[in-house]
């Protein structure tokens, strides 16, 4: 299959894991996201319909991968090929329900939100597709496990409010832990987890994070907060991963498994076996394509059916939340709005740029 994939490229981007998984399975990839560093791309103001029409070989699919930064191309609803999106942080904010309306097939990383998105877009081509591990980098690098606890992840505003930073500081007082304030490349993530006896996870809002898959793939024991959202469908608690419900239980279980290395290794090995067998990006790509190549798939995105004014308003809401001020101004200009109306239209975006 020929796939046009769009996302904001950087070395640890989720879209890059998907891209490599497509290529590993013999599919042809066109990167149509924004240019970044040494990678060429396309300005987001250029219609994706025009980009796709000029590509050779012609894509069979357009895939937009969240989180996309300041990237949401115009013309998605005009494509003659299926348009699909993969949405991850659906537990943060509501703008992704607007974005989903531009796509014929919607894949959701968090199981609890599938029904909500089906209601929002008005069709059933919405599917649960959990996050995964990229086993070329998230693997056991056969290094000495020098850290009691390992963690790599985001510590921005939402994560600080979730209690993640507080728990990390607490663990730092009791155990040998890596420098969780620095950034790591994908290779470094896999190596860091291979140096860790236990990988710690805590969610923001009951989400099943990619860390769960990356840590288990690296052969460390994964300890995560107990959430619903499909976690029990993915791993057997107590046998493949370990869960906790509060700080006291977290500290006690880490201490227990550090003092009982045989039991720790038994759980870690079972978790690694499960992830390698069922939770890699190559397997997620296979699942995605099963849906996208089905004879029942329809070009059913709601934005294919509505008028220009409604479509523009939905797109502007997305631009506002993605801080795409230039794209918002271009849309206002193309609509022939006068300067005062343009200022009114971009005001929410300006406010978000100032306060966030």
Q: Which residues pair with 200 in a beta bridge?
A: 223
**Of 8, 69, 15, 47, the residue nearest 322 (C-alpha):** 69
**Of 321, 311, 315, the residue nearest 94 (C-alpha):** 321
- Under DSSP, the state recorded for 248 is H
The distance in angstroms from the start CA to the end CA of the chain is 40
**Two domains, one topology: 2-132+284-301 and 147-278:** yes
CATH of domain 147-278: 3.40.50.2000
- For residue 334, give every residue at least 6 positions away whose Cβ sits within 8 Å of its Cβ, in sequence order, or none: none
Query: Mind listing the pLDDT tens digit for each residue in 230-270?
Result: 999 999 999 999 999 999 999 999 999 999 999 999 999 99
In 205-296, where does DSSP find H-type helix?
210-217, 231-234, 247-259, 261-278, 281-292
Would you list the domain boundaries of the chain? 2-132+284-301, 147-278
71, 44 contact by CB (below 8 A): yes
Burial class (CB in 10 A: 0-12, 13-18, 19+), 192: buried
Query: Mind listing the pLDDT tens digit for each residue in 35-77?
Result: 987 789 998 788 999 999 999 999 999 999 997 678 999 999 9
Query: Mind listing the pLDDT tens digit for each residue in 168-214?
Result: 999 999 999 999 999 898 889 999 999 999 999 999 889 999 999 99
Give the whole-number percent of the chain exceeding pLDDT 70: 96
Positive or negative torsion for Cα 62, 67, 71, 75:
positive
Tell me the Cα Rg of the chain: 21
- Cα(77)–Cα(104) distance, integer angstroms: 9
**CATH level 3 topology of 2-132+284-301:** Rossmann fold (3.40.50)
In angstroms, the Cα distances linking 121 to 79, 96, 99 are: 18, 11, 9
- Predicted confidence at residue 163, as pLDDT, reads 81
């Amino acid at each position: 299959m020929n796939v046009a994939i769009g996302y904001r490229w950087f070395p640890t981007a989720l879209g890059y894991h998907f891209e490599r998984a497509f290529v590993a399975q013999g599919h042809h990839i066109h990167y149509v996201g924004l240019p970044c560093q040494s990678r060429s791309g396309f300005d987001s103001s250029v219609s994706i319909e025009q980009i796709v029409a000029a590509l050779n070989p012609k894509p069979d699919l357009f895939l937009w991968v969240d989180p996309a930064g300041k990237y949401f191309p115009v013309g998605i609803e005009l494509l003659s090929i299926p348009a699909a999106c993969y949405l991850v942080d659906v537990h943060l904010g509501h703008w992704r329900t607007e974005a989903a309306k531009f796509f014929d097939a919607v894949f959701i990383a968090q199981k609890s939100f599938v029904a909500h998105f089906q209601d929002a877009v008005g069709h059933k081509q919405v599917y649960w597709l959990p996050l995964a591990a990229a086993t070329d980098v998230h693997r056991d690098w056969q290094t000495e496990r020098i850290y009691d606890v390992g963690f790599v992840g985001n510590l921005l505003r939402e994560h600080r409010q979730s209690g993640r930073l507080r728990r990390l500081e607490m663990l730092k007082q009791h155990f040998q832990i890596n420098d969780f304030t620095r950034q790591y490349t994908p290779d470094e993530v896999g190596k860091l987890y291979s140096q860790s006896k236990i990988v710690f996870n805590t969610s923001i809002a009951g989400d099943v994070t990619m860390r769960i898959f990356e840590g288990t793939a690296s052969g460390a024991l994964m300890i995560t907060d107990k959430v619903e959202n499909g976690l029990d469908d993915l791993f057997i608690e107590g046998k493949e991963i370990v869960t906790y419900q509060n700080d006291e239980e977290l500290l006690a279980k880490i201490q227990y498994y550090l003092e009982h290395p045989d039991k720790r290794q038994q759980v870690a090995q079972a978790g690694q076996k499960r992830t390698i067998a069922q939770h890699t990006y190559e397997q997620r790509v296979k699942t995605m394509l099963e849906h996208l190549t089905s004879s029942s798939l329809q070009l059913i995105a709601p934005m294919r059916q509505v008028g220009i004014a409604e479509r523009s308003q939905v797109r502007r809401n997305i631009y506002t939340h993605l801080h795409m001020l230039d794209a918002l101004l271009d849309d206002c200009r193309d609509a022939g709005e006068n300067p005062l109306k343009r200022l009114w239209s971009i005001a929410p975006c300006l406010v978000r740029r100032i306060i966030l």
